Structure formats: structure tokens, C-alpha cells
Amino acid sequence: MGVASKIPVYLEKAPGGGILVTSIDKILNWSRASSLWYMLFGTACCAIEMMCTGASRYDFDRLGMIFRASPRQSDLMFVAGTITHKMASRVKILYEQMAEPRYVIAMGGCAVRGGPFYYDSYAVLKGIDKVIPVDVYIPGCPPRPESLMEGCLKLREKIRKEKMADWSSDSAK
């Protein structure tokens, strides 16, 4: 039965065969969580670690994550690196260009709270959550690829718990 036999958690066979029963929430969340395509968008140091995670040794593809160059095609945005005031409005535009449902991971100290540039800097935004909503925060300067992957697994957990009612009301706002 191909895919359906591998995902018993989500599908239940009805007696008599030929019919599979699941809830919309489960099947949608499963498909979303399993193919998070992320936007190729890095601003600073963390972008290099993001590249490493996507490349040979750490191999992001096995989580079903493939990079896309355009925000229109991506579900997930890693805010990888320092965001300055000059860049903040552009990040917001990029976020708005992404199709819903969309998720944001703040990667590294700078995106979380300004990082080492919190004090004495006139140019750095102190936390990306002042501009766009964030789903998962990953600390580190920069985070190792392992912690980036752990963050993505956490995001998948979060997506699996979503209810259809939640995100539809969110988009109506």
C-alpha cells in the first residue's frame, strides 16, 4: 500500500478494506511537518552553519528539508544571523511574501536578542521577534548544526499539534 502502510499513526483502516480514515488535522500536519522547505536566506555567521547543515555531512534533506531561493516557494524561514534596523523592514517584507502556513526559526543569539551586539551598537535590532512572530528560538553563537536540526525537530513537533481551526483563524486576523 506504499505510503499509507508506513504511517499507521495517522491512518486507520476501516473494516472491510479499501477505505482509510484519518482526521484532516493529522494528515495535513503530517504532510506539512515532513516537507518543510526553507528559504535560502542568511544574513551573517549563522548562515555558514546553515549551509553546513544543508551540505554533505549533516544532510538536511533527510528531514525532508530542501532550500528554495524564493520566499514564495518556502514554508520556513531561518533568520540566520544579525538583523540590523536597515534590514528589519526587508525581513518583514520577505515574511509577508511567504505563503501560509509559514514558520520562523530564530537562529543564534543575534536573532534571538541581539547577541553580542546588544550593547553599544546603534545599528542592530534587539531580537527579530520585534518584527515578525517566531516559532522556535535556537541559542548559540553560532548554533552547531546539531542544534539547528534539534530546533527543526521541535518545530515539527509543534506543527503536529496544530489544529485546523487555529491557523484558519490566524490567517483571518
Binding footprint of another protein on the chain (CB under 8 A): 39-45, 47-49, 51-52, 55-57, 69, 71, 81-82, 84-87, 90, 94, 116-124, 126, 141-142, 144
Q: Minimum distance between the CB of residue 8 and another protein, rounded to whole angstroms?
A: 35
CA 31 to chain CA centroid, nearest Å:
14
**List of residues 6+ apart from 45 with CB closer than 8 A:** 81, 108, 141, 142
**List of residues 6+ apart from 166 with CB closer than 8 A:** none
- Spatial distance between the Cα atoms of 6 and 82, rounded to a whole number of angstroms: 41
Amino acid symbol at 11: L
| Nearest CB to another protein, comparing residues 30 and 41 | 41
Q: Minimum distance between the CB of residue 29 and another protein, rounded to whole angstroms?
A: 28
Q: Minimum distance between the CB of residue 41 and another protein, rounded to whole angstroms?
A: 5
- The closest alpha carbon to 63, from 145, 144, 138, belongs to 145
Beta bridge partners of 78: 105
Please say whether the beta carbons of 81 and 47 come within 8 A: yes
| Nearest CB to another protein, comparing residues 45 and 159 | 45
Q: Minimum distance between the CB of residue 124 and another protein, rounded to whole angstroms?
A: 5
| Nearest CB to another protein, comparing residues 33 and 127 | 127
| Nearest CB to another protein, comparing residues 142 and 151 | 142
